[in-house]
Chains A and B, each alone.
Chain A
């Protein structure tokens, strides 16, 4: 509650400041906002977006607990809907990941993907996994001890700490035991429909710890499996909430010793570079490249981002919305609250109308293209159907979004040039140990 009220206070203050700046008149506008103000608003937005991600994750945890207390079709549905809702702010947060090294280093435990889900639970017989991954079939739900690289790991007690330690165990990135996608798998199970309609169909009975009722999907299972699955889900939820608390704190004002303070102490030029690098990196390398083009080239649901829940259309859309938020300095929170302030757009408009127009155009275009994917998904044609080899319209829709995101990345680079920042490179390139 105090977080919310503090948030509204900050939002109100920023709003007041904006109105003030607006009234100050044309001179202020011609110069654009001060780079320091852009950096500060960016940090405020990061705080708001992570704060919303945290709030939505807490809601998800409540729904998950309610489901585990009384497993049933409705409570499972409610938990799944809460997961989808939690993705909305989180996907908008990813634009803060790439430009800011501590966020990128933290992210793995929260949103790592793709995963060899056989590490966690039962899988279908035709499950494909990395053969070099010694834990790809470890099945934590059904095991008390697993063997990885000659080492026996006691997994009898599924604590958040243990799950965190199991990430990338045995050197394989596909071992993801924590975060949104592990939780997604525990709520939905594998999507066995390939590029056809339908998501994962895990039955609620996977969580009913009663002899004769407990299942592993379609099979009857020992009660211990249902107990351990519930324990796993609780632990993964606790860890996710804890991680988001940490990252929200990293962007909180007046906490002093956090990343926000470090970020705001940077030379303004470096702060702007991180902001733009994050936008361009998410647009091109991550979203257009790894999350869309790979899935399209391979026609492969294994490369689909939210592959268990078939929520990919929404995740991709909100990834883009995050980029646009940062550019325009405007964020609409999960409660409908608006956060507005000085941003790259205003800075750019004052320096180069041409560069600003080019980024504006690229954002509008990409917005339409990503929206088309989102709408098609909402109407029932999910991302995994769009990438099917024969689906020309779906393929075209994704191709168009990729092209538009390339445009965003290129425009971002032009914006950096116009702002005198030169080539956009990662912060680490100039950072000695």
Chain B
């Protein structure tokens, strides 16, 4: 058994060396340290929760202060804790950590009775020509009564917008070697709408909280590098297009490349954090100073606030610092021949066409420890048509209803160590990585079919590689 593996490994090593840019042995970076010098070496449930390793000890307080505001509950105003009040009036939850569980992924409800706490539902109505400016700034036209997101909780006196109820249809996909894999497809319903029937033109999109690791590094991948990989018309004929999303950067007051969120709807970590504060917890900030109440929600608009804004600039700065500097954990088991074989299969099947292994970050004087790092996030940060099976039919900026941003794969092997219930894909429908792969369609259909056709050994090798990330 051993010898063939050794030979295979040797052949592999040679072929990978020939791979250049995407190989395991290239100069200028260390694939064992996907976050470059920020990489941390921990593989237990704290694996996603550590500060970038290269922040000197005398500068780490900002991370820990930000961490406290990320995990401690915000409370209803007015309260003695003036700096941490202002929850709601409408909101999804009272902490960041409640959804980004242990700084990792959220998960979908198990069924109609289960709470959808670490998942949220975006709302909109179809845009018309007249909505161009709104779409250019917010990505979609919010529902006139329910707004851009369903808040399933309200402070006392403010009715919640409804309850998200998820049921699953299941079907079994049979792989070439005869293995059956059950997939579950969520069916979403808003039960007990608090402000009347939302109407037939309501568009919804369920999203589970993504992991927090490496966000600052992703923010520093040069825009030119991301755009250079875009191939909107599939000029190279590989079946993979890849489009950049163009979104609104409120700080710069101009259109900008979208990087964060399931459809790349946010340009920066700071704006993403401010949007999550106001959308998910109901907290205003300098960036988004208005509470998320629509004109129809009078009790919401009249409720006391927790200051103007509710998240002070000081706290926002520390939470953003924290969010940018959560480290990516190191790879494990890289010398395992199965892992090496898995990586070869990953690249050979075309997965690496979108899950681009390597990038180098640019320079930001405000983030010296994230600058100039060679990183291995396994994403191109571009939008891809993922097929009808995954479509939410709800556009966001330039992302269509079938398009999703390639999510980074770094750290994915520790997802369930960090949070055993962690789910994959935008709505958490995939319970493990194989299910996630099998849901791929559209531009990824060819790569998915390669996986379906694999022998059990090959498939196990591919999974071993993913687990090593």
The answer to whether B71 has its CB under 8 Å from any CB of chain A is: yes
* Residue in chain A with minimal CB distance to B110: A150
Complex: A409 Cα to B61 Cα, angstroms: 10
Chain A residues near B58: list those with CB within 8 A.
280, 284, 406, 409-410, 412-413, 424
Chain B residues near A330: list those with CB within 8 A.
none
User: Are B80's CB and A389's CB within 8 A?
Assistant: yes
The answer to whether A132 has its CB under 8 Å from any CB of chain B is: yes
User: Are B75's CB and A128's CB within 8 A?
Assistant: yes
The answer to whether B57 has its CB under 8 Å from any CB of chain A is: yes
Output the least CB separation between B283 and chain A (Å).
13
The answer to whether A154 has its CB under 8 Å from any CB of chain B is: no
Complex: A293 Cα to B44 Cα, angstroms: 28
Complex: A173 Cα to B99 Cα, angstroms: 13
Chain B residues near A173: list those with CB within 8 A.
71, 97, 102
The answer to whether B421 has its CB under 8 Å from any CB of chain A is: yes
Complex: A174 Cα to B63 Cα, angstroms: 19
Per-position 1/0 for B422-444, Cβ under 8 A of A: 00000000000000000000000
User: Are A428's CB and B53's CB within 8 A?
Assistant: yes
User: Are B61's CB and A406's CB within 8 A?
Assistant: yes
User: Are B68's CB and A132's CB within 8 A?
Assistant: no
Q: A-B contact count, CB below 8 Å?
A: 158
Name the interface residues of B29-83: CB closer than 8 Å to any CB of A.
Answer: 32, 37, 39-45, 50-51, 53-58, 60-65, 67-69, 71-73, 75, 80-83
Output the least CB separation between B114 and chain A (Å).
7
The answer to whether A266 has its CB under 8 Å from any CB of chain B is: no
Output the least CB separation between A131 and chain B (Å).
5
Complex: A168 Cα to B419 Cα, angstroms: 10
Complex: A58 Cα to B46 Cα, angstroms: 30
The answer to whether A219 has its CB under 8 Å from any CB of chain B is: no
Known: A130-B97, A286-B64. A428 touches B54 (CB 8 A): no
The answer to whether A16 has its CB under 8 Å from any CB of chain B is: no
* Residue in chain B with minimal CB distance to A281: B57
**Number of chain A residues whose Cβ lies closer than 8 Å to a Cβ of chain B:** 52
Chain A residues near B81: list those with CB within 8 A.
298-302
Chain B residues near A412: list those with CB within 8 A.
57-58
Chain A residues near B56: list those with CB within 8 A.
413, 423-425
User: Are A284's CB and B61's CB within 8 A?
Assistant: yes
The answer to whether B218 has its CB under 8 Å from any CB of chain A is: no
Tell which of A131, A277, A289, A428 touches B64, judged by Cβ atoms closer than 8 Å: A289
Tell which of A105, A285, A432 touches B60, judged by Cβ atoms closer than 8 Å: A285
User: Are B421's CB and A290's CB within 8 A?
Assistant: no
Complex: A150 Cα to B420 Cα, angstroms: 12
Q: Is the interface of B mostly helix, strand, loop or mixed?
A: loop
The answer to whether B84 has its CB under 8 Å from any CB of chain A is: yes
User: Are B83's CB and A300's CB within 8 A?
Assistant: yes
Complex: A289 Cα to B312 Cα, angstroms: 17
Per-position 1/0 for A244-282, Cβ under 8 A of B: 000000000000000000000000000000001100110
User: Are B41's CB and A431's CB within 8 A?
Assistant: yes
Known: A105-B44, A300-B81, A413-B56. A130 touches B61 (CB 8 A): no
Question: Which among A133, A174, A298, A426 has the greatest number of chain B C-beta atoms within 10 A?
Answer: A298
* Residue in chain B with minimal CB distance to A427: B41
User: Are A389's CB and B82's CB within 8 A?
Assistant: yes
The answer to whether B94 has its CB under 8 Å from any CB of chain A is: yes
The answer to whether A34 has its CB under 8 Å from any CB of chain B is: no
The answer to whether B188 has its CB under 8 Å from any CB of chain A is: no
The answer to whether B401 has its CB under 8 Å from any CB of chain A is: no
Complex: A389 Cα to B84 Cα, angstroms: 12
User: Are B53's CB and A426's CB within 8 A?
Assistant: yes
Name the interface residues of B125-153: CB closer than 8 Å to any CB of A.
Answer: 153
Chain A residues near B50: list those with CB within 8 A.
426, 428
* Residue in chain A with minimal CB distance to B76: A128
The answer to whether B101 has its CB under 8 Å from any CB of chain A is: yes
Chain A residues near B67: list those with CB within 8 A.
290
Tell which of B57, B65, B93 touches A132, judged by Cβ atoms closer than 8 Å: B93
Question: Which among A129, A280, A300 has the greatest number of chain B C-beta atoms within 10 A?
Answer: A300
Known: A299-B81, A425-B56. A131 touches B98 (CB 8 A): yes
Per-position 1/0 for A144-173, Cβ under 8 A of B: 000001100000000000000000100111
Tell which of A130, A150, A171, A429 touches B53, judged by Cβ atoms closer than 8 Å: A429
Complex: A130 Cα to B74 Cα, angstroms: 9
Interface residues, chain A, with chain B CB atoms under 8 Å away: 105, 114, 128-133, 149-150, 168, 171-174, 194-195, 276-277, 280-281, 284-286, 288-290, 293-294, 297-303, 388-389, 406, 409-410, 412-413, 423-426, 428-429, 431-433
If A171-B102, A428-B50 are given as contacts, then 20 extra A-B residue pairs at C-beta distance below 8 Å, sorted by A number, are A128-B75, A130-B72, A130-B95, A131-B93, A131-B95, A131-B98, A132-B93, A132-B98, A149-B421, A150-B110, A298-B72, A300-B83, A302-B81, A389-B82, A409-B61, A412-B57, A412-B58, A425-B57, A429-B37, A433-B43
